[in-house]
Structure 1
Amino acid sequence: MSDYTFITTEENFLLQEALQKNKKQLTKFGLIGLCLMLVAAVIPQIYLYTHNEQGNADESLLSFKNIWFWVWIISFIIALIFALIKVTDIRYWALKKDLVALQKATLQAPMEAVYVENNDTQTNISIMLDNRKKKLFYWMRGVLEGYRAGQEVEIVYARYSRVIISINKK
Protein backbone atom coordinates (compact mmCIF):
# COMPACT_ATOMS: atom_id res chain seq x y z
CA MET A 1 0.00 0.00 0.00
CA SER A 2 1.11 3.52 -0.61
CA ASP A 3 0.70 6.62 1.49
CA TYR A 4 -2.66 8.30 1.58
CA THR A 5 -3.38 11.15 -0.84
CA PHE A 6 -6.27 13.57 -1.18
CA ILE A 7 -9.52 12.70 -2.94
CA THR A 8 -10.43 14.76 -6.01
CA THR A 9 -13.77 16.50 -6.49
CA GLU A 10 -15.07 13.77 -8.83
CA GLU A 11 -14.11 11.06 -6.34
CA ASN A 12 -15.84 13.05 -3.61
CA PHE A 13 -19.06 12.98 -5.64
CA LEU A 14 -18.73 9.20 -6.07
CA LEU A 15 -18.43 8.79 -2.30
CA GLN A 16 -21.42 11.08 -1.73
CA GLU A 17 -23.47 8.95 -4.12
CA ALA A 18 -22.47 5.80 -2.23
CA LEU A 19 -23.38 7.56 1.03
CA GLN A 20 -26.85 8.40 -0.31
CA LYS A 21 -27.43 4.75 -1.26
CA ASN A 22 -26.37 3.66 2.22
CA LYS A 23 -28.61 6.30 3.81
CA LYS A 24 -31.61 4.97 1.86
CA GLN A 25 -30.77 1.46 3.02
CA LEU A 26 -30.54 2.59 6.66
CA THR A 27 -33.88 4.40 6.35
CA LYS A 28 -35.46 1.27 4.90
CA PHE A 29 -34.12 -0.83 7.78
CA GLY A 30 -35.40 1.72 10.30
CA LEU A 31 -38.88 1.57 8.77
CA ILE A 32 -38.79 -2.24 8.75
CA GLY A 33 -37.85 -2.14 12.44
CA LEU A 34 -40.66 0.31 13.23
CA CYS A 35 -43.22 -1.84 11.41
CA LEU A 36 -42.03 -4.97 13.19
CA MET A 37 -42.19 -3.17 16.51
CA LEU A 38 -45.78 -2.15 15.85
CA VAL A 39 -46.73 -5.70 14.87
CA ALA A 40 -44.88 -7.22 17.84
CA ALA A 41 -46.46 -4.72 20.21
CA VAL A 42 -50.05 -4.89 18.93
CA ILE A 43 -50.66 -8.60 18.23
CA PRO A 44 -49.81 -9.83 21.77
CA GLN A 45 -52.05 -7.10 23.21
CA ILE A 46 -55.01 -8.13 21.09
CA TYR A 47 -54.59 -11.78 22.04
CA LEU A 48 -53.96 -10.99 25.72
CA TYR A 49 -56.94 -8.68 26.21
CA THR A 50 -59.41 -10.85 24.24
CA HIS A 51 -58.55 -14.10 26.04
CA ASN A 52 -58.08 -12.86 29.65
CA GLU A 53 -59.80 -10.66 32.17
CA GLN A 54 -58.75 -7.02 32.36
CA GLY A 55 -56.89 -7.39 35.68
CA ASN A 56 -55.04 -10.54 34.68
CA ALA A 57 -54.11 -9.06 31.31
CA ASP A 58 -52.72 -5.90 32.91
CA GLU A 59 -50.45 -7.95 35.20
CA SER A 60 -49.08 -10.17 32.41
CA LEU A 61 -45.49 -9.85 31.16
CA LEU A 62 -46.90 -9.41 27.65
CA SER A 63 -48.98 -6.39 28.65
CA PHE A 64 -48.06 -3.04 27.16
CA LYS A 65 -48.33 -1.66 30.70
CA ASN A 66 -45.33 -3.75 31.79
CA ILE A 67 -41.93 -2.04 31.36
CA TRP A 68 -40.19 -5.37 30.64
CA PHE A 69 -42.39 -5.88 27.59
CA TRP A 70 -41.12 -2.61 26.11
CA VAL A 71 -37.50 -3.37 27.04
CA TRP A 72 -37.80 -6.71 25.24
CA ILE A 73 -39.48 -5.22 22.15
CA ILE A 74 -37.00 -2.35 21.76
CA SER A 75 -33.99 -4.63 22.35
CA PHE A 76 -35.28 -7.06 19.74
CA ILE A 77 -35.81 -4.32 17.15
CA ILE A 78 -32.38 -2.75 17.74
CA ALA A 79 -30.72 -6.16 17.42
CA LEU A 80 -32.68 -6.82 14.22
CA ILE A 81 -31.66 -3.50 12.67
CA PHE A 82 -27.98 -4.08 13.47
CA ALA A 83 -28.20 -7.63 12.12
CA LEU A 84 -29.63 -6.29 8.85
CA ILE A 85 -26.84 -3.70 8.69
CA LYS A 86 -24.19 -6.37 9.27
CA VAL A 87 -25.66 -8.80 6.76
CA THR A 88 -25.94 -6.17 4.01
CA ASP A 89 -22.59 -4.57 4.87
CA ILE A 90 -23.63 -0.94 4.99
CA ARG A 91 -20.65 1.43 4.95
CA TYR A 92 -22.56 4.58 6.06
CA TRP A 93 -20.41 5.68 9.01
CA ALA A 94 -17.11 4.85 7.31
CA LEU A 95 -18.23 6.81 4.23
CA LYS A 96 -19.06 9.81 6.40
CA LYS A 97 -15.57 9.58 7.92
CA ASP A 98 -14.05 9.40 4.41
CA LEU A 99 -15.94 12.51 3.33
CA VAL A 100 -14.39 14.38 6.25
CA ALA A 101 -10.84 13.02 5.92
CA LEU A 102 -10.81 13.05 2.07
CA GLN A 103 -7.99 10.51 1.87
CA LYS A 104 -7.46 7.72 -0.65
CA ALA A 105 -4.85 5.04 -1.22
CA THR A 106 -3.68 2.85 -4.07
CA LEU A 107 -3.17 -0.89 -3.86
CA GLN A 108 -1.86 -3.36 -6.44
CA ALA A 109 -2.48 -7.04 -5.71
CA PRO A 110 -4.22 -10.15 -7.06
CA MET A 111 -7.89 -10.60 -6.22
CA GLU A 112 -8.63 -13.45 -3.82
CA ALA A 113 -12.40 -13.55 -4.49
CA VAL A 114 -15.17 -11.49 -6.09
CA TYR A 115 -18.70 -11.43 -4.61
CA VAL A 116 -21.83 -9.72 -5.94
CA GLU A 117 -24.21 -8.72 -3.13
CA ASN A 118 -27.27 -6.65 -2.23
CA ASN A 119 -29.37 -7.60 -5.27
CA ASP A 120 -26.55 -6.89 -7.72
CA THR A 121 -26.00 -3.35 -6.41
CA GLN A 122 -22.57 -3.96 -4.87
CA THR A 123 -19.50 -6.02 -5.69
CA ASN A 124 -17.13 -7.00 -2.89
CA ILE A 125 -13.53 -7.87 -3.70
CA SER A 126 -11.27 -9.74 -1.30
CA ILE A 127 -7.54 -9.00 -1.64
CA MET A 128 -4.69 -10.95 -0.01
CA LEU A 129 -2.11 -8.43 1.21
CA ASP A 130 1.63 -9.02 1.46
CA ASN A 131 1.39 -9.69 5.21
CA ARG A 132 -1.06 -12.58 4.50
CA LYS A 133 -4.09 -10.61 5.72
CA LYS A 134 -7.25 -10.48 3.67
CA LYS A 135 -8.98 -7.13 3.13
CA LEU A 136 -12.44 -6.60 1.69
CA PHE A 137 -13.02 -3.72 -0.74
CA TYR A 138 -16.39 -2.49 -1.98
CA TRP A 139 -17.50 -1.46 -5.50
CA MET A 140 -20.74 0.41 -4.76
CA ARG A 141 -21.87 0.92 -8.37
CA GLY A 142 -23.40 -2.46 -9.13
CA VAL A 143 -21.94 -5.57 -10.70
CA LEU A 144 -18.29 -5.28 -11.68
CA GLU A 145 -18.13 -7.19 -14.98
CA GLY A 146 -15.03 -8.97 -16.25
CA TYR A 147 -13.12 -9.26 -12.96
CA ARG A 148 -12.32 -12.73 -11.66
CA ALA A 149 -10.39 -14.19 -8.74
CA GLY A 150 -6.65 -14.40 -9.40
CA GLN A 151 -6.45 -11.34 -11.65
CA GLU A 152 -3.92 -8.66 -10.72
CA VAL A 153 -5.65 -5.31 -10.18
CA GLU A 154 -4.78 -1.78 -9.17
CA ILE A 155 -7.38 -0.33 -6.82
CA VAL A 156 -7.78 3.29 -5.74
CA TYR A 157 -9.98 3.29 -2.64
CA ALA A 158 -11.26 5.56 0.12
CA ARG A 159 -9.19 5.14 3.28
CA TYR A 160 -11.75 4.26 5.97
CA SER A 161 -14.66 2.68 4.09
CA ARG A 162 -12.47 0.86 1.54
CA VAL A 163 -14.97 1.84 -1.14
CA ILE A 164 -13.32 1.45 -4.54
CA ILE A 165 -13.01 4.73 -6.40
CA SER A 166 -11.37 3.17 -9.45
CA ILE A 167 -10.14 -0.28 -10.42
CA ASN A 168 -7.94 -1.36 -13.34
CA LYS A 169 -6.67 -4.74 -14.48
CA LYS A 170 -2.87 -5.09 -14.64
Structure 2
Amino acid sequence: MQDFSLMTTEEHFLLQDALKKNKKQVRKFVLIGVALMILAAVVPQLYLYKYSTPEEANQSLLSITNGWFWVWMLSFIVALVFALIKVTEVRYFTIKKDLMALQKGQIQVPLEAIYHENNNTQTNFMVLLPNTKRKRLFYWTRGALDGYKVGTEVEISYARYSRVILDINKK
Protein backbone atom coordinates (compact mmCIF):
# COMPACT_ATOMS: atom_id res chain seq x y z
CA MET A 1 0.00 0.00 0.00
CA GLN A 2 1.37 3.37 -0.94
CA ASP A 3 1.24 6.37 1.34
CA PHE A 4 -0.11 9.61 -0.02
CA SER A 5 0.62 13.11 1.24
CA LEU A 6 -1.03 16.49 0.74
CA MET A 7 -0.21 18.66 -2.26
CA THR A 8 1.44 22.01 -1.94
CA THR A 9 -0.22 25.15 -3.29
CA GLU A 10 2.13 25.19 -6.29
CA GLU A 11 1.27 21.58 -7.14
CA HIS A 12 -2.42 22.44 -6.84
CA PHE A 13 -1.97 25.20 -9.43
CA LEU A 14 -0.08 22.81 -11.73
CA LEU A 15 -3.02 20.41 -11.52
CA GLN A 16 -5.48 23.22 -12.28
CA ASP A 17 -3.40 24.05 -15.38
CA ALA A 18 -3.56 20.38 -16.45
CA LEU A 19 -7.35 20.50 -16.02
CA LYS A 20 -7.60 23.60 -18.26
CA LYS A 21 -5.52 21.93 -20.99
CA ASN A 22 -7.58 18.76 -20.78
CA LYS A 23 -10.82 20.73 -20.94
CA LYS A 24 -9.55 22.55 -24.03
CA GLN A 25 -8.75 19.22 -25.75
CA VAL A 26 -12.20 17.85 -24.90
CA ARG A 27 -13.95 20.96 -26.26
CA LYS A 28 -11.96 20.85 -29.48
CA PHE A 29 -12.78 17.20 -30.05
CA VAL A 30 -16.47 17.67 -29.23
CA LEU A 31 -16.71 20.50 -31.78
CA ILE A 32 -15.03 18.34 -34.42
CA GLY A 33 -17.36 15.45 -33.51
CA VAL A 34 -20.49 17.59 -33.76
CA ALA A 35 -19.36 18.93 -37.14
CA LEU A 36 -18.74 15.39 -38.40
CA MET A 37 -22.10 14.23 -37.08
CA ILE A 38 -23.93 17.07 -38.81
CA LEU A 39 -22.03 16.30 -41.99
CA ALA A 40 -22.91 12.60 -41.72
CA ALA A 41 -26.58 13.42 -41.22
CA VAL A 42 -27.00 16.19 -43.83
CA VAL A 43 -24.87 15.10 -46.81
CA PRO A 44 -26.79 11.84 -47.49
CA GLN A 45 -30.10 13.74 -47.32
CA LEU A 46 -28.92 16.38 -49.78
CA TYR A 47 -27.61 13.73 -52.18
CA LEU A 48 -30.79 11.64 -51.98
CA TYR A 49 -33.22 14.46 -52.57
CA LYS A 50 -31.12 16.04 -55.32
CA TYR A 51 -30.52 12.96 -57.48
CA SER A 52 -33.71 10.95 -56.97
CA THR A 53 -37.43 11.43 -56.75
CA PRO A 54 -38.98 12.18 -53.34
CA GLU A 55 -40.59 8.71 -53.21
CA GLU A 56 -37.27 6.94 -53.92
CA ALA A 57 -35.46 9.16 -51.42
CA ASN A 58 -37.99 8.37 -48.67
CA GLN A 59 -37.56 4.62 -49.25
CA SER A 60 -33.75 4.72 -49.24
CA LEU A 61 -31.72 3.29 -46.33
CA LEU A 62 -30.10 6.69 -45.86
CA SER A 63 -33.39 8.55 -45.62
CA ILE A 64 -34.10 10.30 -42.36
CA THR A 65 -37.47 8.51 -42.26
CA ASN A 66 -35.85 5.05 -42.29
CA GLY A 67 -34.98 3.29 -39.01
CA TRP A 68 -31.65 2.04 -40.39
CA PHE A 69 -30.49 5.64 -40.79
CA TRP A 70 -31.00 6.19 -37.06
CA VAL A 71 -29.16 2.95 -36.24
CA TRP A 72 -26.28 4.20 -38.38
CA MET A 73 -26.32 7.61 -36.67
CA LEU A 74 -26.36 6.02 -33.20
CA SER A 75 -23.40 3.83 -34.19
CA PHE A 76 -21.60 6.92 -35.47
CA ILE A 77 -22.18 8.71 -32.14
CA VAL A 78 -20.92 5.71 -30.12
CA ALA A 79 -17.79 5.57 -32.32
CA LEU A 80 -17.23 9.30 -31.71
CA VAL A 81 -17.44 8.81 -27.94
CA PHE A 82 -14.85 6.01 -28.02
CA ALA A 83 -12.64 8.11 -30.30
CA LEU A 84 -12.91 10.97 -27.79
CA ILE A 85 -11.68 8.70 -25.03
CA LYS A 86 -8.81 7.33 -27.12
CA VAL A 87 -7.64 10.53 -28.80
CA THR A 88 -7.79 12.97 -25.92
CA GLU A 89 -6.86 10.66 -23.05
CA VAL A 90 -9.74 12.09 -21.06
CA ARG A 91 -8.68 12.51 -17.45
CA TYR A 92 -11.04 15.38 -16.75
CA PHE A 93 -12.99 13.67 -13.95
CA THR A 94 -9.92 12.16 -12.27
CA ILE A 95 -8.15 15.53 -12.30
CA LYS A 96 -11.23 17.11 -10.71
CA LYS A 97 -11.18 14.35 -8.08
CA ASP A 98 -7.50 15.10 -7.43
CA LEU A 99 -8.30 18.79 -6.98
CA MET A 100 -10.80 17.84 -4.29
CA ALA A 101 -8.66 15.22 -2.52
CA LEU A 102 -5.35 17.13 -2.82
CA GLN A 103 -3.35 13.92 -2.40
CA LYS A 104 -0.09 13.15 -4.12
CA GLY A 105 2.03 10.03 -4.30
CA GLN A 106 5.71 9.49 -4.80
CA ILE A 107 7.36 6.56 -6.52
CA GLN A 108 10.92 5.67 -7.55
CA VAL A 109 11.06 3.37 -10.58
CA PRO A 110 12.87 2.83 -13.90
CA LEU A 111 11.11 4.08 -17.06
CA GLU A 112 9.67 1.38 -19.34
CA ALA A 113 8.54 3.62 -22.22
CA ILE A 114 8.39 7.31 -23.08
CA TYR A 115 6.28 8.97 -25.76
CA HIS A 116 4.97 12.40 -26.70
CA GLU A 117 1.40 13.08 -27.75
CA ASN A 118 -1.00 15.91 -28.56
CA ASN A 119 1.50 17.69 -30.84
CA ASN A 120 4.31 17.44 -28.27
CA THR A 121 2.27 19.19 -25.58
CA GLN A 122 2.31 16.12 -23.32
CA THR A 123 4.86 13.44 -22.41
CA ASN A 124 3.73 10.05 -21.14
CA PHE A 125 5.89 7.74 -19.04
CA MET A 126 5.18 4.03 -18.67
CA VAL A 127 6.65 2.45 -15.52
CA LEU A 128 6.63 -0.99 -13.96
CA LEU A 129 5.32 -0.71 -10.40
CA PRO A 130 7.56 -2.35 -7.81
CA ASN A 131 6.24 -5.47 -6.02
CA THR A 132 3.17 -5.76 -8.29
CA LYS A 133 4.58 -6.30 -11.81
CA ARG A 134 1.83 -4.02 -13.15
CA LYS A 135 2.53 -1.20 -15.58
CA ARG A 136 1.16 2.30 -15.07
CA LEU A 137 1.10 5.35 -17.28
CA PHE A 138 1.99 8.75 -15.82
CA TYR A 139 1.35 12.04 -17.65
CA TRP A 140 3.56 15.14 -17.88
CA THR A 141 1.14 17.78 -19.19
CA ARG A 142 3.54 20.72 -19.49
CA GLY A 143 5.00 20.02 -22.93
CA ALA A 144 7.59 17.69 -24.38
CA LEU A 145 10.03 16.54 -21.72
CA ASP A 146 13.35 15.52 -23.24
CA GLY A 147 16.43 14.04 -21.63
CA TYR A 148 14.80 10.91 -20.25
CA LYS A 149 15.55 7.47 -21.69
CA VAL A 150 14.08 4.02 -21.20
CA GLY A 151 15.68 2.37 -18.19
CA THR A 152 16.47 5.65 -16.43
CA GLU A 153 15.68 5.50 -12.71
CA VAL A 154 13.34 8.39 -11.82
CA GLU A 155 11.50 9.69 -8.82
CA ILE A 156 7.98 10.78 -9.73
CA SER A 157 5.67 12.90 -7.60
CA TYR A 158 2.13 12.59 -9.02
CA ALA A 159 -1.52 13.37 -8.37
CA ARG A 160 -3.14 10.30 -6.82
CA TYR A 161 -6.08 9.57 -9.11
CA SER A 162 -5.16 11.08 -12.48
CA ARG A 163 -1.44 10.22 -12.30
CA VAL A 164 -0.54 13.66 -13.63
CA ILE A 165 3.14 14.21 -12.82
CA LEU A 166 3.75 17.13 -10.49
CA ASP A 167 7.52 16.68 -10.35
CA ILE A 168 10.01 14.25 -11.92
CA ASN A 169 13.72 13.85 -11.14
CA LYS A 170 16.44 11.49 -12.35
CA LYS A 171 18.11 9.34 -9.69
Q: Structure 2 length normalisation: TM-score? A: 0.91
1:37/1:74 contact within 8 Å kept: no
1:15/1:99 contact within 8 Å kept: yes
In 2, Cα distance between equivalents of 1:154 and 1:80: 37
Corresponding residue number in structure 2 for 1:136 = 137
For residue 31 of structure 2, what is the amino acid of its counterpart? L
In 2, Cα distance between equivalents of 1:15 and 1:78: 30
The 10-residue stretch of structure 1 (152-161 or 7-16) with the greater mean CA deviation from structure 2? 7-16
* SS of residue matched to 1:27: helix
In 1, Cα distance between equivalents of 2:10 and 2:82: 31
1:153 aligns with 2:141: no
2:26/2:84 contact within 8 Å kept: no
Runs of 4+ with deviation above 2 angstroms: 65-68
Once the two structures are TM-superposed, the CA of residue 71 in structure 1 deviates from its matched residue by 3.8
Corresponding residue number in structure 2 for 1:57 = 57
Residue ranges of structure 1 left out of the alignment (5+ in a row): none
Once the two structures are TM-superposed, the CA of residue 75 in structure 1 deviates from its matched residue by 3.0
1:163 aligns with 2:160: no
Once the two structures are TM-superposed, the CA of residue 21 in structure 1 deviates from its matched residue by 0.6
1:78 aligns with 2:89: no
CA deviation profile, 1:102-129 (whole Å, cap 9, x unmatched) = 1110001111111111110010011111
**Paired-residue identity, %:** 62
Q: Structure 1 length normalisation: TM-score? A: 0.92
Corresponding residue number in structure 2 for 1:27 = 27
In 2, Cα distance between equivalents of 1:113 and 1:169: 15
CA deviation profile, 1:148-168 (whole Å, cap 9, x unmatched) = 111111110001110000011
In 1, Cα distance between equivalents of 2:75 and 2:99: 31
CA RMSD between the two structures: 1.6
* SS of residue matched to 2:151: coil
CA deviation profile, 1:83-111 (whole Å, cap 9, x unmatched) = 13313423212111111221110001111
* SS of residue matched to 1:106: strand
In 2, Cα distance between equivalents of 1:56 and 1:70: 18
Corresponding residue number in structure 2 for 1:104 = 104
2:25/2:88 contact within 8 Å kept: no
1:26/1:85 contact within 8 Å kept: no
